[in-house]
């Protein structure tokens, strides 16, 4: 019987288990977006994961949206990430780079005064967080149609850069209210051109980006992350089953390398999301490796794999606080308690200092 600890063949990449480390923003990169030794230590500590997916990584200066977040569009960025991938591989791990454009979820003060861009001039809900303050999101600048293909090209170049940096693959971040999600969902996309209106037009940015990333490497090495029930930053769609169903089926036609879908969290459920059981809803629509994320413990993960609702489970906060999460789950050992005060910040506190069982 297949369970969390069963090895998995991801298109020739041999994974020792189905316990993936989810992408999690940690803000420990240098302020110019360069990855560093501290990040190499952090990811290498967690190399027992079936697959590590990095925190969101900007493909361009325009795509920035996190102070202290990593980037991958300069030679220095590539070299910094090479230090990370070398450390993970030396620890017998496997690692994908999550490529990302923040879209409207950004602020001019971290972009040289330039407004964030979006499909439509609608500000994100919530606050943009600087290390010393929180501020309202500005009204973004609507992208002109001729500005969109260069963004797709940035993702293709980001894919080539990730391959040069030694990653085992890449993932398109098309969830959580960032640029590709903003184009997809009709609460944020009010366009009337070829990039808005119909489901096909709104999905176009995701699908053309995936095609460009695949051309830069191979479709087998491209993953996609979707969040049909995530309300973060004011996201939502009038018909999420149709909208996300279209994307999932189109990705299946392409046989994308893997697809990760987020279950709603407690805040999403409080707002009354339309799709509460994401895995059970979308798994029948696709034959590609299917990964679920958000709110899983060992028992729920085991049930999900054994029922065939997913091929792997991505864990976030549990990996953050437990560098040896796979071993702890296998032994049913107690988990470290995470410290939310250090989820974001600088330095090793709450980052590389969580103890392993053998320490």
Q: Which residues are catalytic?
A: 178
DSSP bridge pairs for 98: 171
**For residues 172 and 94, what is the distance between their CA atoms, to the nearest angstrom?**
17
Rg (CA), the chain: 19
**For residues 250 and 242, what is the distance between their CA atoms, to the nearest angstrom?**
12
CB 68 within 8 A of CB 28: yes
Contacts (Cβ under 8 Å, ≥6 apart) of 210: 172, 219, 222, 224, 251, 254, 256
Contacts (Cβ under 8 Å, ≥6 apart) of 7: 14, 15, 16, 17
Q: At what angle do helices 148-164 and 75-90 cross, to 10 degrees?
A: 40
**For residues 124 and 136, what is the distance between their CA atoms, to the nearest angstrom?**
9
């Amino acid at each position: 019987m297949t369970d969390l600890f069963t090895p998995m063949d991801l298109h020739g990449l041999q994974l020792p288990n189905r316990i993936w480390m989810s992408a999690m923003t940690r803000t420990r990169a240098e302020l110019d977006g360069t990855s560093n030794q501290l990040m190499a230590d952090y990811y290498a500590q967690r190399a027992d994961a079936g697959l590590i997916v990095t925190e969101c990584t900007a493909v361009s200066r325009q795509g920035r949206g996190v102070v202290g977040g990593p980037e991958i569009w300069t030679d220095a960025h590539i070299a910094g990430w090479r230090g990370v991938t070398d450390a993970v591989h030396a620890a017998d791990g496997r690692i994908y780079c999550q490529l990302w454009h923040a879209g409207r979820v950004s602020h001019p003060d971290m972009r040289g005064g330039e407004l964030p861009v979006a499909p439509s001039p609608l500000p994100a809900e919530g606050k943009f967080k600087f290390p010393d303050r929180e501020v309202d999101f500005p009204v973004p600048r609507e992208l002109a149609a001729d500005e969109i293909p260069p963004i797709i090209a940035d993702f293709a170049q980001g894919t080539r850069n990730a391959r040069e940096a030694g990653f085992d693959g890449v993932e398109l971040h098309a969830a959580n209210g960032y640029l590709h999600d903003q184009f997809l969902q009709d609460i944020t996309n009010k366009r009337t051109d070829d990039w808005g209106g119909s489901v096909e037009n709104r999905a176009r940015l995701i699908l053309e980006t995936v095609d460009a990333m695949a051309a830069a490497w191979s479709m087998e090495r491209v993953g996609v992350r979707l969040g049909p029930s995530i309300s973060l930053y004011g996201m939502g769609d009038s018909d999420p089953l149709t909208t996300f169903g279209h994307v999932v089926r189109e990705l299946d036609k392409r046989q994308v390398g893997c697809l990760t879908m987020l279950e709603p969290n407690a805040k999403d459920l409080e707002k009354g999301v339309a799709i509460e059981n994401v895995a059970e809803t979308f798994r029948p629509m696709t034959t590609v490796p299917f990964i679920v994320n958000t709110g899983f413990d060992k028992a729920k993960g085991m049930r999900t794999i054994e029922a065939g609702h997913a091929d792997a489970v991505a864990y976030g906060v549990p990996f953050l606080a437990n560098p040896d999460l796979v071993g702890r789950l296998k032994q049913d050992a107690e988990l470290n308690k995470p410290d939310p005060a250090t989820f974001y910040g600088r330095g090793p506190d709450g980052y590389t200092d969580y103890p392993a069982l053998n320490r």
